Structure 1
Amino acid sequence: MYKREKSIQIKSSASAFYNNLSTLPITDKNLTYFAVIHGSLVNMVSASTDGLNLSHRQLQSKEGGMVHGTSLIMQMYESDGSIMVYWHALDTPEASTDAVFARGIGATRSHYICVGSSTGSILVFNIPPKGTNITLSEILEQHRDPITDIACDCSEDKECVADLVSADDSGVLCIWKSGDDFKLMYKIAAYGGTCSSVKMWSGIIAAGYGSGQILIYDAAAGTVNVVVNAHARWICTLDVASISGKLLSGGEDSFLRIWRIYRNPETNSIEVEHEHTECVTDVQICGAKFCDPEGTAFAVTGYDLSEIIRYVQV
């Protein structure tokens, strides 16, 4: 069971984007960083474990997000938002009137950060162990529709056959093996609509769809193992706790649900169990994240809501 804790106020409300909440626990300082997007503004809050000590920061993108009127700027900051360490211009395709944007980000164990774009490209950046000499090392070109989400395997299993998954607006999933050269392992056809959120843990992929369903895939085989009718409306966010394997889902139906995903040791099949449900009344959920790797606490944001609602296991 989880109980609702004191909410954290933010400077401006959350925009109606998928996965519009990020968390970063800093265990040695008993702090958690939260980030929520409002238009071109990023609201950042560092909060103590009890939620009493707060520090706010707002990051504003370059004016209009444009350079010379032709490119959108993607920016990388230090984890506390204090210093911008890198920026990259996303070029607008010729003869295109569509908006250009970056969406979906995943960090691999091998010092790469992958960023999705509205063109369907995935930009792979090499992050050095020290310093800020970040370089664009590769562009992955398997998607034909805007990227919606990217996830890397967050478990401790370092022998995964595949450790990166990307999703797009049409519902196509691409499963990759990261490294000096990224290798496409499987390309999974669209499943009846947009895949809005995707997560990966211990060789298991959880993908949330506009239908309200969660599909559970085996990353090593690229096959569907479980279909869960999780929500009555669009799934807007998924998250997974890296140690426990708990899966958190949030939808437009105002419900949050926690599931346990695991492999049955006898059959090696993937199984899913429902563990908990919360209703956030009159809130259109747009982001939800666990606040620790065990999944003992989680936070949620909603469209036009100027607060982060927290829940703690009891």
Structure 2
Amino acid sequence: MLYSKEKQIFVKGTVSAVTNNVAVNVSKYQKTLHGFAVIDRQTVHVVGTENAVDDAADVPQHCLDTKTDVTQVLWCTLGYINCLVVTCSEGLIIYDCDKQFKRIYTHNCEDKNMKEKYAKGIAAFECTYLCVGNSNGSIRVFGPDEDGQVVFLDRKLFHGAPITDMSSYKHNLVSCDESGCTVLSQIDCGELMIIARSKMFGGHPCTTTEMTRVGLMAVGYGCGTIRMFDPAVKIINGDAEDQLPMIVQISAHARCITSMSAAKDADLLLSVSEDSWIRVWKISSTVIIMNRNIFCKLPMLATILPFQTITLVYCYMKEDTMFVGCQFITRNGSKFCTTAYDSQYITCYTVNQL
């Protein structure tokens, strides 16, 4: 695969140095395409996909001033409401995209009994539930009530360190934290239940996580490594929590991985880092059939084992650039965008047609 620069989208501000600093509206449930959202300290800039450099002054942009430091943004649909979800140092803010980004819900994540300083990590479950992480390691669950209004449902303390990112696939939720721990949980009727957790891997912090279209868990670390886990593969640990064994490890970057994105309808994983590199990975799944009882007269037994391979299919280095965000623009992975610290542009790339 070979990608080339398609266009640059102008932002009336500069991109802040926070991980996962770009959100693209690729939801199939959205009525209109508002495009991109990036964080500029206490402001979220929302621009349209048609806002290219040549006509940047002609297309209006929404500037959402939260009056507090923003940590992450995500487009999602809750019930019948198309939302832009913002986490910040005060908690959670939800904007209605179909009503000129009217603020429809806020939740202060501060708890006098818990040392909570900010919210970070957002994941949505197919129009039904919204999960938000917190600096004390807890996860809050929100969802629409009978009247379609967003309400608080549940809170669970799954981590011993601040949560850095979360991602979801069907009923599975993956969350990671600054200690390097990854937790797999499941949601049932608005309640989270822990399934398994990984080990610390030397204490390097997790910075970003994604779930692929087949449900594999990809986690990026501060050391530049990407590790993958399979929710279906767990080490049973008796009465204690089950352990998530690593199935793939990649020395993906030389410095901290700041953002990853998985294509919704393709086996592609995009990663960017502080090392100025953009990389696109191809995830391939094969099945190995192992026969047992070959040397005895017992009936033949077969064990089917899934096997994952990761192949680098594209890489590009932009000198003296600290990338802080990336996301696929199209569901098939044919286009993606990146953001860089202290830049005024969102750069879009498209695959070259042979």
Please state how far the C-alpha of 1:76 moved relative to its aligned partner: 0.4
Partner of 2:106: 87
1:163 aligns with 2:172: yes
State TM-score, norm by structure 1: 0.88
CA deviation string 1:180-235 (max 9, x = no partner): 12221102121221000011121211100011010011112222111100001110
Measure the CA separation in 1 of the matches of 2:103 and 2:35: 17
58, 61, 70: which is aligned to 1:56? Answer: 61
8 Å CA contact 2:9, 2:51 repeated in 1: no
Which residue of the partner structure matches residue 12 of structure 1?
13
- How far, CA to CA, are the matches of 2:262 and 2:128 in structure 1? 21
Q: Percent identity?
A: 30
Deviations along 1:150-194, one digit per CA (max 9) or x if unpaired, are 0002xxxx5xxx611000011111101122122211021212210
The alignment of Structure 1 onto Structure 2 pairs a total of residues equal to 299
Q: Distance in 1 between matches of 2:59 and 2:147?
A: 29
- The whole-number CA distance in structure 1 between the counterparts of 2:258 and 2:141 is 25
Q: Distance in 2 between matches of 1:86 and 1:29?
A: 20
User: Are residues 312 and 32 of structure 1, via their aligned partners in 2, closer, same or farther at CA, if it must alter by over 3 Å?
Assistant: farther
Q: 1:149 aligns with which of 141, 165, 178?
A: 165
Contact 1:111 1:129 in 2 (8 A): no
How far apart in 2 are the matches of 1:62 and 1:211? 33
Pair 1:101 & 2:123 matched: no
The question of 1:72 aligning with 2:90 is answered: yes
Q: Are residues 64 and 110 of structure 1, via their aligned partners in 2, closer, same or farther at CA, if it must alter by over 3 Å?
A: closer
Once the 2 structures are TM-superposed, how far is the Cα of residue 39 of structure 1 from its aligned partner?
A: 1.1
Could you tell me which residue of structure 1 aligns to residue 221 of structure 2?
A: 209
Tell me what 1:297 maps to: 335
User: Residue type of the partner of 2:95?
Assistant: Y
Deviation, structure 1 residue 48? 2.7
Secondary structure of residue in 1 paired with 2:44: strand
- Correspondence 1:1-314 to 2 at 5 A: 1-25=2-26, 31=33, 33-48=35-50, 54-62=59-67, 72-79=90-97, 82-93=101-112, 100-109=117-126, 111-128=128-145, 131=148, 133-153=149-169, 163-180=172-189, 181-192=191-202, 193-201=204-212, 202-221=214-233, 222-266=244-288, 267-314=305-352
Task: Check whether the contact 1:32–1:48 (CA below 8 A) recurs between aligned residues.
Answer: no
In structure 1, the residue corresponding to 2:232 is in which secondary structure?
coil
Note if contact 1:31-1:49 (Cα within 8 Å) is conserved in structure 2: no
The answer as to whether partners of 1:114 and 1:122 remain within 8 angstroms in 2 is yes
Give the equivalent residue in structure 1 for 2:292. Answer: none
- Do the aligned residues in 2 keep the contact of 1:262 with 1:270 (CA within 8 Å)? yes
Amino acid aligned to 2:256: W
- Structure 1 or 2, whichever has the larger Rg, is 2
Indicate conservation of the 8 Å contact 1:47/1:55, yes or no.
no
* SS of residue in 2 equivalent to 1:259: strand
Q: 1:223 to 1:165 in 2, by over 3 A?
A: same
Equivalent residues of 2:255, 2:275 under 8 A apart: yes
SS at 1:243 equivalent: coil
Provide the rounded CA distance (Å) in 2 between the counterparts of 1:46 and 1:23.
10
Report the TM-score when normalising by structure 2.
Answer: 0.78
Q: What is the root-mean-square deviation of aligned Cα atoms in Å?
A: 2.5
Q: Does the C-alpha gap of structure 1 residues 137 and 92 become closer, same or farther in structure 2, counting only changes over 3 Å?
A: closer
The aligned counterpart of 1:68 is none
